[in-house]
Amino acid sequence: MPAHRRLRRIYALEDFEPAARRHLPAPIFGYVAGAAETNASYDDNRRAFAEIGFVPRVGVDVSGRSLACDVMGQAFDLPFGIAPMGVSALTAYRGDLVLARAAGQARIPMIVSAASLIPLEEITAANPEVWYQAYLPQHLAEIEALLARVARAGVETLVVTLDSAVVPSRENNLRTGYRTPLRPDLALFWQGITHPRWALGTFLRTFLRHGTPHFENATATRGAPLLSRRAVRDFSGREFLSWDLLAEVRRMWKGHLVLKGILHPDDVTRAAHLGAEGVILSNHGGRQLDGAVSPLRVLTAARRCAPDLPMMLDGGVLRGTDILKALALGARFVFVGRPFNYAASIAGEAGVAHAIDLLRRQLMADLGMLGLTDLAQLDRSVLLCEGFREV
Catalytic residues: 284
Q: Is 178 annotated as a binding residue?
A: no
Q: Are 343 and 354 in contact (CB under 8 A)?
A: yes
Look at strands 383-384 and 53-54 and give their pairing.
antiparallel
Known binder of ligand: residue 93? Answer: no
Task: Answer yes or no: is 338 a known binding residue.
Answer: yes
**Ligand-binding site membership of 38 (annotated):** no
Tell me: is residue 380 an annotated ligand-binding position.
Answer: no
CA separation, residue 216 to residues 150, 213, 221 (Å): 12, 8, 7
Q: Is 138 annotated as a binding residue?
A: no
Query: Is 113 annotated among the ligand-binding residues?
Result: yes
d(CA 330, CA 378) in angstroms, rounded, equals: 9
SS3 119: coil
42 is in an annotated binding site: no
Q: Is 23 annotated as a binding residue?
A: no
Q: Is 11 annotated as a binding residue?
A: no
Q: Is 2 within any annotated ligand binding site?
A: no
Integer Cα distance of 97 and 227 in angstroms = 21
- Could you give the residue ranges of the DSSP H alpha helices within 158-195? 171-176, 186-194
The answer to whether 290 and 36 are in contact (CB under 8 A) is yes
C-alpha–C-alpha distance, residues 339 and 345, integer Å: 10
- CA-CA distance, 366 to 277, in Å (whole number)? 29
Q: How far is CA 245 from CA 19, 113, 136, 140, 249, in A?
A: 42, 20, 9, 8, 6
337 is in an annotated binding site: yes
Annotated binding site: 31, 84-86, 113, 133, 135, 161, 170, 260, 282, 284, 287, 337-338
Q: Which residues line the annotated binding site for FMN?
A: 84-86, 113, 133, 161, 282, 337-338
> Binding site for glyoxylate: what residues are annotated?
31, 135, 170, 260, 284, 287
